[in-house]
Amino acid sequence: MAISSLLLIKPISTFPTKQSFSHQQNNKKLNNTLFKPNSSLKTTTNHTPTLSKHHKHSWKQELKHSNYNNPQKQKSEDTTDDYDDEYFQESVDKRCVDNIRMMIVDAVQNAKAGHPGMALGMAEVGYVLYRHAMNYNPRNPKWFNRDRFVLSAGHGCLLQYVCLHLSGFHSVQIEDLKRLCKLGSRTPGHPENVVTEGIEATTGPLGQGVANAVGLALAEAHLAARFNKPDAVIVDHRTYCIMGDGCAMEGISNEAASLAAHWKLNKLTLIYDDNHNTIDGPTSLAFSEDVSARFKALGWHTITVDNIHDDIPSFKEALLVAAVSETERPTFIRVKTLIGKLSGKEGTSKAHHGTFDEDDEKRMREKVNWGDRERFHVIPMVYREMQIQAEHGERLEREWYSKLNNYQSKYPEEAAEFDLLLCGGLLPGWESSLPEWSTSDPLDATRGYSEKCLNKLAKVLPGLIGGSADLATSNKAYLHDYQDFSQPDTPWGRNIRYGVREHAMAGISNGIALHGSGLIPFAATFLMFSDYMKNAIRLSALSHAGVIYIMTHDSIGLGEDGPTHQPIEQLAGLRAIPRLLVFRPADGNETAGAYKIAVANRDVPSVIALSRQKVSANLEGTSANEVERGGYIVSDNSGGNILPEIILIGTGSELCLCEESAKILRQDGRRVRVVSLVCWRIFDRQPSEYKEKILPPDIKKRVSVEAGSPMGWREYVGEEGKVIGVDEFGASGAYLDTFNKYGFNEENVTKVARSLLHQQH
């Protein structure tokens, strides 16, 4: 273990004993009559448990309401005892799906809003996932070894909400379904992991969930390789994802799918809702490719289910047998469905969103013999049916904790590291590993100081993992003492090679962060290419995924590559994203300070914008600790309680220009303050007293210096201040020549400052 010498071997805090589950046993009503004794652990080849006569009898009246009675399968209309188990389970499955569909209709009609089309069409898929496939415990939704499910086609969230409710998740009650899309409800219009327990990732922008699922599957494969032993398997779960036609069209899904196959993520199953419709109309308007053939070419195991609406067992076979049996490739299951199943809009784009008229709703009820049952009716046996899988999950969790305790006794060092990860991954005192710099250290770019920070942190943060989009040497984002993540060779490696796939890199990093296993993902590229990633970065902030984005070549100072690679508006755009922390450190000190905050905030994403050109390792007056304030005074010659005449505000590589200009102005006899505004959002959150201390309201003469868009700086310099920025696309040339062209030199900063000082109020 790389950090074994730093870990104190102690009783594992996350490993409870069997007795800790006794309260669950006492508080729940176990239905021991659903299965014959011990039969729940024995399934036939088609995954149908041996069912008791009592269980069948409890379904008797309800199945008479359905259209699934088959005289050839029973002796009389009044008994279900002679149903064979396979046929009986088919009948029950179909009736459960009917109930799910009617709850979807009821929720949309009640809310007068929502997206019922995909939810109705994929009802069989949602049901099979939650009733027959996934391992989870609704009483403990964050159980580590649960299976993960991501709904990339997030507009179909009503299907997941209904399944969560029926499965026993406390986060979705009937009242929550009645409040679909209402302000403050736990059932928003697209799934949000920070709002509803049981949702793994916030989705909505199509294709993002596919990348999230790849990240979740990568996290499982990586941790399994690091911690599993031949006689002790403690990391073993699967990842499921539903995508739609829109997801298939978005480029991020192809980027992520390509990587999933390359990485051989065989525990990932992607279910494609092939309903041939998007909002504008049939997919034939703009989409004619063979999606299965594309995934096969990428290296996926592909399966097609032609008629799930009439043949649920065919999907169960694909999901529970074929996908699980695959040991080298991720599985892609193409499921042909009818969008808006049951409704008069069935099979058309009109079913995508909106309500149904009264006649249509009446006909849907008639088609499933629903009669005059009130809205949101749940057949009692449907709850009991879903409870079977929930109880199975509880049993698996108890068994897992037993394995974990056994693992601790056999492998105490590995167990201690695993426990550390599950507790957040932050070793006490990890901050002390960050390097410190002196004024005598050689000059380097802040990307170079970042490299040193990353590699120091890797030795004390066992969860630090990440990589670059084919720019590791340029970004200086590589953990030198660790291997590459690669299956089957080195899945324990902590460097991820993303290739030229920035968008997928960000989405996958979100999945890794949301895995909940203490992994701390970093993703690196040029700041210019953050535009490829913007939607995924926004979702990092929205879903509280603590991804660390390392963005180098942060200004026109990158020089020769020219305006196509010189970021101008990127900083302004990133700073506008709520909750995202954007750091632009000026030297080694501030780079270390940025990492300290980025790592510590595990539910907040960060962007660290870094230079290509060299700057001082320790600019006099900077401080790693002061970065936590967002902005602070670097130097001020005013003395005592006297206020400065002018304030120069800088970030990144331009802070040293402010300092050099201040020295010249001070020689003129001027009182000059230099302020580093390394992170706007953190500074904005400081108490008013602190902000006014740094930027006194009475001091109107202010100059900001940043080699990027001037947008946003007026808030800090005020109406009378001056903003030195760039409002065009930059130019190709040596970086000093480019800087001089746009006025980023001490002479121009001094000139602008003097012009302000000479102005009269």
Q: Could you give the residue numbers annotated as active site?
A: 502
Find the helix or strand (DSSP H, E) in which 465 lies. Answer: strand 464-468
Closest CA relative to residue 142, chosen from 186, 192, 196, 198: 198
CB contact at 8 A, 736 and 650: no
CB contact at 8 A, 468 and 500: no
565 is in an annotated binding site: yes
Q: What are phi and psi of 195, to 5 degrees?
A: -105, -40
761 is in an annotated binding site: no
Residue 488 preceded by cis peptide, ω within 30: yes
377 is in an annotated binding site: no
CB contact at 8 A, 658 and 649: yes
In order of 525, 558, 716, the CA distances from 709 in angstroms are 20, 16, 14
155 is in an annotated binding site: yes
Q: 341: which 2 tokens?
A: 């199943």
275 is in an annotated binding site: yes
Provide the 8-state DSSP code for 580: -
- Burial class (CB within 10 angstroms; exposed 0-12, middle 13-18, buried 19+) of 687: exposed
Amino acid at 453: C
352 is in an annotated binding site: yes
| The pairing of beta strand 495-497 with beta strand 464-468 | parallel
CB contact at 8 A, 705 and 654: yes
- The answer for residues whose C-beta is within 8 angstroms of residue 686's C-beta and 6 or more apart is 629, 630, 631
CB contact at 8 A, 192 and 176: no
Q: How many CB atoms neighbour CB 251 within 10 A?
A: 12
758 is in an annotated binding site: no
Amino acid at 685: R
Amino acid at 154: G
Residue in the block written with tokens 């010249």: 664
115 is in an annotated binding site: yes
Residues flagged as binding site: 115, 155, 204-206, 245-246, 275, 352, 447, 474, 529, 553, 561, 565, 612
Residues flagged as binding site for Mg(2+): 245, 275
Residues flagged as binding site for substrate: 115, 352, 447, 474, 553, 561, 565, 612
Residues flagged as binding site for thiamine diphosphate: 155, 204-206, 246, 275, 352, 529
